[in-house]
Amino acid sequence: MTVTVVCLAVCAAVAVLSTLPHGRFLRTAAVVVATVTLATAAVAAAVVSPAEGSTRGVVVTLVVVIAAFGGVGLVPLVFDLVEVDHRDHRPAEEPGAAATDDDTTALRSRPLRGGRVIGVLERVAVVGALVAGWPEGIAVVLAVKGLARYPEIRDQHAGEQFIIGTFASVLWAVAAAGVARLALT
């Protein structure tokens, strides 16, 4: 269990550090390190006996930190990957219209209002629901988020951003919760 806790602690530290402002290279490196240490923690948790005593609380706390802050670096990275794809496959421009990079960075430059904070809260709720053994909680979280954002996501770019960000965010939280379930059961 020691290897699992150490990997979770490293992953949590990297996840928190990934929230600091830095360039794309460092954000990518932080996401890769967090992913590798989370995967290592999963393997370690799968081969040892379940956590006992105060170690259970430490595992849950670290997993909540990983879920909450790990997505802060992951979601913009996924948006960067999508932006490259949009730029490479842009539909034909109207004759006489000049193509600019402003079109491809519009999504990145105007995130949905409050998206980062909502993402952190969303990941905490998802990981909490899964660790508590209530997977239906994911549906509740996504339904509330979708209803609250509905007026904003009717725009095509905002809708794409909402879907991509939500999927990346929830998948990260589910991965973190999966490690917790392995370590606790």
Per-residue pLDDT of 47-68, as tens digits, reads: 999 999 999 999 999 999 999 9
Give one word for 21, left, alpha or beta, with left for phi > 0 and alpha for psi -120 to 50.
Answer: beta
Q: Based on C-alpha coordinates, what's the Rg of the chain?
A: 18
Token representation of residue 111: 């995130």
Q: What's the mean pLDDT in 160-166?
A: 90
Q: What is the pLDDT of residues 15-44, one digit of tens each?
A: 998 888 878 888 899 999 999 999 999 999
CB neighbour class for 92 (10 Å; exposed up to 12, middle 13-18, buried from 19) = exposed
Decide if pLDDT at 89 tops 70.
no
Under 8 Å between Cβ of 11 and 70: yes
What letters, b where the CB count within 10 A reaches 16 and e where it falls short, cover 94-125? eeeeeeeeeebeebeeebbeebeebbbebbbb
Cβ–Cβ contacts within 10 Å for residue 61, how many?
13
Token representation of residue 109: 């430059």
For the entire predicted model, the pTM comes to 0.83
* Residue percentage of the chain with pLDDT more than 90: 61
Query: What CA–CA distance (Å, rounded) separates 19 from 32?
Result: 14
CB neighbour class for 181 (10 Å; exposed up to 12, middle 13-18, buried from 19) = middle
Backbone phi and psi for residue 19, each to the nearest 5 degrees, phi listed first: -80, -15
